[in-house]
Amino acid sequence: MSKLSHIDKENRPVMVDVSEKKTTAREAHARAVVDFPPDIARRFMDGDIRTAKGPVFATAIIAGVMASKKTHELIPFCHPLGLDNCDIHISMDSGRRAIIDCRCKVTHKTGVEMEALTGASIAALTIYDMCKALSHDITISELRLISKTGGKKDYVREDS
């Protein structure tokens, strides 16, 4: 059975020591979904909408990238990483959902899964914040890791 990486032998929380790990190119792809009520979803079908706070998707992309770069300030045991890239793409699916894909890259001794998950989640929260004046019946769901490469083993989610 695998053990938790952030717990020591005495069951205390610890940061993972990456000093002996090999530096490799690492990538992670995370996704979040924002489900809108039908009347709000229709507003997005021709592209981004502008609110009093600005263009919704464009602002969410900026917020997600900013959050990805600050993940170590938000998650206690994440290592500070100088991301090589963070790319967020937001699109509407055929229903009434915004699909947020966040891809992060770094050459480092530790992965970027948490940075990708943080970017996707903050982009989703930004969309909620910018649209909540229209409705509070907006749902954020399906925050998940889609894939990661580099490090000990690669991962690709089967149901993505």
The CATH number for 122's domain is 3.30.70.640
User: Which of the two residues, 151 and 136, has the higher pLDDT score?
Assistant: 136
The answer to whether position 6 is within a domain reads no
Instruction: Please tell me the pTM assigned to this model.
Output: 0.90
In the set 35, 48, 84, 129, the catalytic residue is: 129
Average pLDDT over residues 127-148: 96
Report the pLDDT value the prediction gives residue 75, as an integer from 0 to 100.
Answer: 92
- Look at residue 96 and tell me if it is in a domain: yes
Structural domain contains residue 10: no
Strand-pairing partners, residue 28, are 104, 148
To 5 degrees, how large is the angle CA 132–CA 46–CA 68? 55
Query: In this predicted model, what pLDDT tens digit does every residue of 48-99 receive, in sequence order?
Result: 787 777 899 999 999 999 999 999 999 988 999 999 999 999 999 987 899 9
- Nearest alpha carbon to residue 115 among 128, 106, 124, 107: 106
Residue 84 bears catalytic tag: no
- Please say whether the beta carbons of 57 and 101 come within 8 A: no
> Is residue 135 a contact partner of residue 34, using CB atoms and an 8 Å limit?
no
Range of the structural domain that residue 78 is part of = 24-150
* Count of domains forming the chain: 1
Q: What is the pLDDT of residue 130?
A: 94
Q: 150 in the Ramachandran plot: left (φ > 0), alpha (ψ -120 to 50) or beta?
A: left
What pLDDT, on the 0 to 100 scale, is given for residue 136? 95
Q: Would residue 100 count as lying in a domain?
A: yes
Q: Is residue 60 part of a domain?
A: yes
**Which pLDDT value is given to residue 91?**
94
CA-closest candidate to residue 137, choices 43, 60, 53, 35: 35
Give tens-digit pLDDT for 4-59: 777 778 878 788 878 888 899 999 999 999 999 999 998 887 777 877 778 999 99
- Domain assignment present for residue 95? The answer is yes
41 occurs within a structural domain: yes
The answer to whether position 159 is within a domain reads: no
